[in-house]
C-alpha cells in the first residue's frame, strides 16, 4: 500500500516570474520563470516558489537584421555555431546610408564551457523560497500592465522578490491564499475600501479620491490597467460609500463629465439624433465565412505591372475570409493605404525609397538629441519614459517580443519614438504600443511598420486626443445601435447604470487588442480595414459580442459590478469567426429595414448609399467609398466628400 504524500497541494501555477533588479522601474537584466505553490504540510500552510531549471530560452530569437529595418530568425545551436553566431538569412539593406542611426545590435552573454550554465543554475536556486502563511504580514497587489504581488513577512530583514504574473493566475493564487484554513492568520492588505473584496486580485493602494484623480489625470493609463476595476471604484466614489439612494441621472452625468475630460453627457438627445423606438428589424439573415485568401488568389488580382485589379472583389474576399499569414506582409500595406491600389512595382519601389529617407530623417531627430537638450525638453522626456515602460510590457508572451534584449522591443521603441517626431502634438499615449505591435510583427520591417502604423493612427487618432472626442462619439453611436437592436436589453443596462456602455471603452480604444488572442486580432483588423460591409463595422462587432452575452446578463440579473466583471472576463474567450459572422448578419438585418432611423443610417453610412443609389457617376464606388472610410470614419466622424470619394456599391454576402 503506497504511503500518502507528506503534503497536499492547494494551489500550483507555472510561469510566475521574478525580476531580480534593484529598481523595478528599470528593465531587468534577467528574468526567472518558476512554479508557485500553496501546500498544506503537517497542518501548516506553506507558500513555495521554485525557479524552473531553464530560464527564458534565447534560442531561435527573432532579431533585427543589420539594417535595423527587418527582423529575421537567429539560431543558437551549440557545437555547430561559432561564438559570434551567424544570421540565417542575409538581407540587403535598401537604406544602407542610414545605418548610422541603427539602434539594434546583437548581443550574447559570454560564458566559457559550463561556467555560464552553472552560474545561471546557482542564481536560480538562490531565488527559491518558502514560508509559512502564519509568518506572512502583508500582501500588496499592483498593476503595471500585468499583475505583480508583493509579499512581506513579519520578521524578515531580507524582502521576498516580487511575483510577476505575466501569464495570469494571480486571482487564483489570492483566492487560494484567502481560502486556506489558516483563519487565525491576519493578512494586512492595502484595502481602504470594501469594494476591494469584490475583486480580490485587483488590490490597490489608492483610495476612492486618489483613483478618481488618477483617472481624471490620465484616463488611458488607468483604463488599460484594468478598466472594469476603475469604473467600479469610479461609481462608488461618485455615489459615496455612505449614500444609499441613487443620484439623479443629470447629477451622475455632470460628475462623469468632470471625471472624464471632454465626455459631456447630454440628458437630451444628441443634436440631429432622433429617439429610437422599438422597430421590427425582421429576421436576421444567416451568413457564412470563407477560407482565407491565398497568395495565388492575390496574384490573380495583379496585372503584369503590379497594379491591383478588381479591387472591390478582392476586398470582399478579404472581408469574408481574411488573409493567409504569408500574404499579410504585402496585403496590409494596401489595406492600410501605404501602397496605392493602382501603383506599379516600380512606383512602389520609388515610394519605398522616399519613405525610407523620410523615416530615418525623423528618427535621426530624436537620436541626435543630447542628454543636455533632453533635460530641457520635458515633453520629449515624458514621451520617452512612457514608451520605455510600455514597450517592456507589450506582448511579452509573444515569441516576437519575448525574452531579454529582444531586438523586436528595440524596433517597437524606435518606431514609437519616431512617431513622436512625426506627430509631436499627439506624441505618445498609452495604448498606441498595442496598435503597433501586431503591425510590426507582420511587417518584420521598421520602415514599413512605421508607415502602416501612421496609416492606422490616422484612423484611430481621435481615440487618443486629450478631449477624447472620438471615444465619446463611438460610445454614443454604440448606444444608439444597441437601442435599435434590442431595446429591452438596452433598458436593462440603463436600469443598472450601464447605459453609457463604459465597459466597452477598452474594446473601442484599441480595437479589441486586449480581448482577443494575437492571431485573432490579426484576422479582425484586416477584415475591418477593408471598410466592408459598412462604415463603423467595429461597432457592430461590439453589438455582436453583447448580443451573445445579453441572455446571461439578464437571466442572472447582473448589476453594475457584475456586468463589468463579466465583460472583463470575456478576454481571450471570444471566437472571432463567430463574432464576425454575427456582426455581418446584424449589418444585413439593419440594412434591410425599410424604416431605419436616420441616425443609425448615418452611423453605418447607409444614408450615403441611398443618396448615391441613383447616380450613374459613381457606379464603381466600392473602392472609393472604402478609401473615404479609411481616411476618417473609423471613429464615427465621416467627412463630406465628392461623389468619387464617397460612393460605394452594395455589399453582397
What DSSP assignment string belongs to 593-649?
Answer: -TT--HHHHHHHTHHHHHHHTT-STTTTHHHHHHHHHHHH-TTS------HHHH--P
Alpha-carbon distances of 299 from 89, 309, 500, 602, 622, rounded to whole Å? 25, 10, 46, 36, 21
Output the pLDDT for position 626.
Answer: 43
Quote the crossing angle between the two packed helices 576-591 and 518-528, to the nearest 10°: 20
The predicted structure's pLDDT at residue 567: 95
Q: Supply the pLDDT for residue 456.
A: 98
Q: Is 224 exposed, middle or buried (0-12, 13-18, 19+ CB in 10 A)?
A: buried
Crossing angle of helices 208-217 and 227-239, in 10° steps, is: 120
CA 29 from centroid of its chain's CA atoms: 26
Q: What is the pLDDT of residue 379?
A: 93
pLDDT of amino acid 81:
44
Distance CA 120, CA 111 (A): 11
CA dist 93 and 468 (Å) reads 40
Q: How many CA atoms lie within 13 A of 280 on its CB side?
A: 2
pLDDT at 3: 53
**Structure confidence at residue 135 (pLDDT):** 84
Rg (CA), the chain: 27
pLDDT of residue 30: 53
Q: Given this model, what pLDDT does residue 263 score? A: 43
Q: What are phi and psi of 262, to 5 degrees?
A: 80, -5
Parts of the chain with a pLDDT under 50: 1, 4, 22-29, 54-97, 99-100, 102-118, 182-216, 226-247, 252, 255-276, 616-634, 636-653
8 A C-beta contact, residue 362 and residue 447: no
pLDDT digits (tens, 9 = 90+) for 146-181: 788 988 888 767 788 889 887 678 888 888 887 655
Q: Is 200 exposed, middle or buried (0-12, 13-18, 19+ CB in 10 A)?
A: middle
pLDDT confidence of residue 79? 43
**Cα 41 from chain centroid (whole Å):** 42
Amino acid at each position: 500500500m503506497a504511503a500518502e504524500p507528506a503534503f497536499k497541494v492547494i494551489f500550483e501555477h507555472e510561469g510566475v516570474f521574478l525580476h531580480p533588479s534593484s529598481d523595478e522601474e528599470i528593465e531587468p537584466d534577467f528574468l526567472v520563470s518558476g512554479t508557485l505553490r500553496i501546500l498544506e504540510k503537517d497542518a501548516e500552510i506553506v507558500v513555495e516558489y521554485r525557479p524552473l531549471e531553464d530560464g527564458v530560452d534565447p534560442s531561435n530569437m527573432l532579431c533585427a537584421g543589420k539594417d535595423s529595418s527587418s527582423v529575421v530568425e537567429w539560431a543558437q545551436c551549440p557545437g555547430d555555431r561559432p561564438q559570434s553566431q551567424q544570421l540565417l538569412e542575409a538581407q540587403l539593406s535598401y537604406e544602407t546610408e542610414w545605418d548610422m542611426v541603427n539602434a539594434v545590435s546583437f548581443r550574447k552573454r559570454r560564458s566559457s564551457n559550463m561556467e555560464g550554465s552553472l552560474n545561471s543554475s546557482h542564481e536560480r536556486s538562490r531565488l527559491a523560497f518558502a514560508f509559512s502563511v502564519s509568518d506572512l504580514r502583508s500582501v500588496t497587489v499592483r498593476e503595471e500592465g500585468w499583475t505583480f504581488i508583493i509579499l512581506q513577512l513579519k520578521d524578515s530583514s531580507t524582502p521576498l522578490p516580487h511575483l510577476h504574473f505575466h501569464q495570469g493566475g494571480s486571482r487564483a493564487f489570492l483566492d487560494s491564499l484567502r481560502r486556506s484554513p489558516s483563519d487565525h492568520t491576519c493578512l494586512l492588505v492595502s484595502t481602504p475600501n470594501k469594494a476591494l473584496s469584490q475583486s480580490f486580485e485587483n488590490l490597490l493602494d489608492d483610495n476612492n479620491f486618489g483613483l478618481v484623480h488618477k483617472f481624471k489625470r490620465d484616463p488611458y493609463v488607468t483604463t488599460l490597467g484594468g478598466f472594469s476595476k476603475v469604473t467600479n471604484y469610479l461609481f462608488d466614489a461618485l455615489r459615496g460609500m455612505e449614500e444609499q439612494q441613487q443620484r439623479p441621472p443629470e447629477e451622475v452625468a455632470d460628475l462623469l463629465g468632470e471625471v472624464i475630460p471632454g465626455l459631456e453627457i447630454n440628458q437630451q438627445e444628441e443634436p440631429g439624433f432622433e429617439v429610437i423606438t422599438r422597430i421590427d428589424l425582421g429576421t436576421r439573415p444567416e451568413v457564412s465565412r470563407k477560407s482565407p485568401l491565398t497568395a495565388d488568389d492575390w496574384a490573380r488580382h495583379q496585372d503584369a505591372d503590379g497594379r491591383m485589379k478588381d479591387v472591390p472583389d478582392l476586398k470582399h474576399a478579404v472581408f469574408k475570409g481574411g488573409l493567409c499569414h504569408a500574404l499579410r506582409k504585402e496585403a496590409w500595406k494596401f489595406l492600410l493605404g501605404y501602397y496605392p491600389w493602382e501603383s506599379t512595382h516600380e512606383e512602389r519601389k520609388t515610394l519605398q525609397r522616399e519613405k525610407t529617407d523620410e523615416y530615418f530623417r525623423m528618427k535621426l531627430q530624436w537620436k541626435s538629441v543630447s542628454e543636455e537638450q533632453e533635460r530641457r525638453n520635458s515633453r520629449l522626456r515624458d514621451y520617452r519614459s512612457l514608451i520605455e515602460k510600455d514597450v517592456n510590457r507589450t506582448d511579452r508572451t509573444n515569441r516576437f517580443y519575448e525574452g531579454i534584449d529582444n531586438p523586436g522591443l528595440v524596433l517597437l521603441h524606435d518606431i514609437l519614438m519616431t512617431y513622436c517626431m512625426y506627430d509631436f502634438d499627439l506624441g505618445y499615449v498609452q495604448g498606441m504600443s498595442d496598435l503597433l505591435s501586431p503591425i510590426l510583427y507582420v511587417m518584420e520591417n521598421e520602415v514599413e511598420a512605421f508607415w502602416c502604423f501612421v496609416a492606422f493612427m490616422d484612423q484611430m487618432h481621435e481615440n487618443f486626443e486629450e478631449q477624447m472626442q472620438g471615444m465619446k462619439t463611438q460610445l454614443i453611436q454604440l448606444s444608439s445601435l444597441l437601442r435599435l437592436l434590442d431595446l429591452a436589453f438596452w433598458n436593462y443596462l440603463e436600469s443598472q447604470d450601464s447605459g453609457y456602455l463604459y465597459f466597452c471603452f477598452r474594446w473601442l480604444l484599441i480595437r479589441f487588442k486586449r480581448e482577443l488572442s494575437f492571431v485573432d486580432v490579426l484576422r479582425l483588423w484586416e477584415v475591418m480595414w477593408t471598410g466592408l460591409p459598412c462604415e463603423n463595422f467595429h461597432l457592430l462587432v461590439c453589438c455582436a459580442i453583447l448580443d451573445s452575452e445579453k441572455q446571461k446578463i439578464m437571466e442572472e440579473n447582473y448589476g453594475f459590478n457584475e456586468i463589468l466583471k463579466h465583460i472583463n472576463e470575456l478576454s481571450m474567450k471570444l471566437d472571432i469567426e463567430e463574432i464576425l459572422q454575427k456582426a455581418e448578419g446584424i449589418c444585413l438585418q439593419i440594412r434591410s429595414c425599410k424604416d431605419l432611423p436616420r441616425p443609425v443610417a448615418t452611423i453605418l453610412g447607409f444614408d450615403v448609399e441611398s443618396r448615391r443609389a441613383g447616380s450613374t457617376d459613381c457606379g464603381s464606388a466600392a473602392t472609393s467609398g472604402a478609401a473615404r472610410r479609411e481616411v476618417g470614419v473609423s471613429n464615427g466622424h465621416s467627412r463630406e466628400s465628392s461623389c468619387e470619394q464617397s460612393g460605394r456599391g452594395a455589399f453582397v454576402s
